[in-house]
Amino acid sequence: MSADASPGHGGERHHYLAGLDLNGRKVVVVGGGSVAQRRLPNLIAAGADVHVVAVDPTPAVESTPGIAVSRRAYVDGDLDGAWYVMACTDDPEVNARVVADAEQRHTFCVRADDARHGTAVTPASGRHRDVQFGVLAGGDHRLSASLRAAIGRALAEGSLDVADDAPHAAGVALVGGGPGDPDLITVRGQKLLQQADVVVADRLAPPQLLAELGPQVEIIDAAKVPYGRAMKQEAINAVLVDRAAAGKFVVRLKGGDPYVYGRGFEEVQACVDAGIPVTVVPGISSPIAAPAAAGIPVTHRGVTHEVVIASGHVPPGHPDSLVDWSAIARLRGTLVLMMAVERVDAFAEALLAGGRAPQTPVAMIENGSLPTQRVLRTDLAHAAATAAAESLRPPAIVVIGDVAGFTELAG
């Protein structure tokens, strides 16, 4: 796509959009600032043999794996053997020299500070499924970036109609949907969700994400209601395998992260045993995200050096419990309890009995990251009474430790 003006409207040159195969080919980037830093990921992803020449590269550029960095000024001969060049310094004279040297070698060169005087321009590029697209706007980088973002959103949401009858590869993707806010799903998770033929969704998977799917997508409710109705794990495994075996692409959409109390590995094992291709997309996990949404850091320099995430699915002393509550009580750091709403009293008693101070701050975060988020603050001695008096309901995260007393205005 190009938004360049025609030669009759301002004299702007048209550019010829082309996809370059840079795999294994030398690319020279002169300059090591923020512009180079933004360009490097795509060059590396394309498999280019990247050489950076910069007097003072940023730490991010200098530490980028898989590239060669020369900390010095640009000199004659730096472009020898290059297939593609980028002039990205903050010195216009150096950039002009690089462009001139590249042109003598018949090598295309991008000039970052003045695109009109280079022999190539970098489009604002995006990807939808297996399709890459680029936008040029006559050197107006803000316009091209804005158009790129708009196209990407339209493709993801389905408002830009693209005829795509090609079958997707069958298989299963376990996608973490994040703590609740639909905007907190990862980019990769969102992309895979848009490709799904079937979505097997947990109760805590953000429902707004399901509402954006087309009518052709089969949605299977795999909700597990706390202490109530639940789809058995064996049935979930069977659905994943059956639909994928029938040639469908299946997304198992979970709240939080698939591997943090999400039974994700059980589902991976079921798919592997059945010969079904499976991939795991990590999600933003609620034991970290919910406290953050409430203004609580689970770690803080000089306050805590450890974070323990424990399941509240079974109480202390239960034969099925794998948690050493007396050991946890002796720790000085942060304890985050999940699935603990019904047993706050039991966990508080165990921690107090193990030596945790009664005045230890406690924060209980209900519906973390959602508009209905509610935060209850108390201490360990009064945690059970506060939860009962305030009718704490799942899903909720319980944070125990000094950081639970923090607010965004305190450190």
Catalytic: which of 49, 78, 197, 202? 202
d(CA 51, CA 315): 58
- Long-range CB contacts (< 8 A, 24+ apart) of 218-223? 218/243, 218/248, 222/252
SS3 content of the chain, % helix, strand, coil (to 5): 30, 25, 45
Could you tell me which residues come within 8 angstroms of residue 309 by beta carbon, excluding any fewer than 6 positions away?
260, 287, 336, 338
Q: Is 91 a catalytic residue?
A: no
d(CA 73, CA 139): 27
Cα angle for residues 120, 126, 131 (degrees, 5° grid): 105
369 phi and psi angles, rounded to 5 deg: 80, -5
d(CA 88, CA 77): 17
Could you tell me which residues come within 8 angstroms of residue 205 by beta carbon, excluding any fewer than 6 positions away?
177, 253, 254, 255
Q: Is 224 a catalytic residue?
A: yes
Catalytic: which of 91, 224, 242, 379? 224
| Residue whose tokens read 């009580």 | 329
C-alpha radius of gyration, the chain, whole number: 27
Catalytic annotation, residues: 202, 224
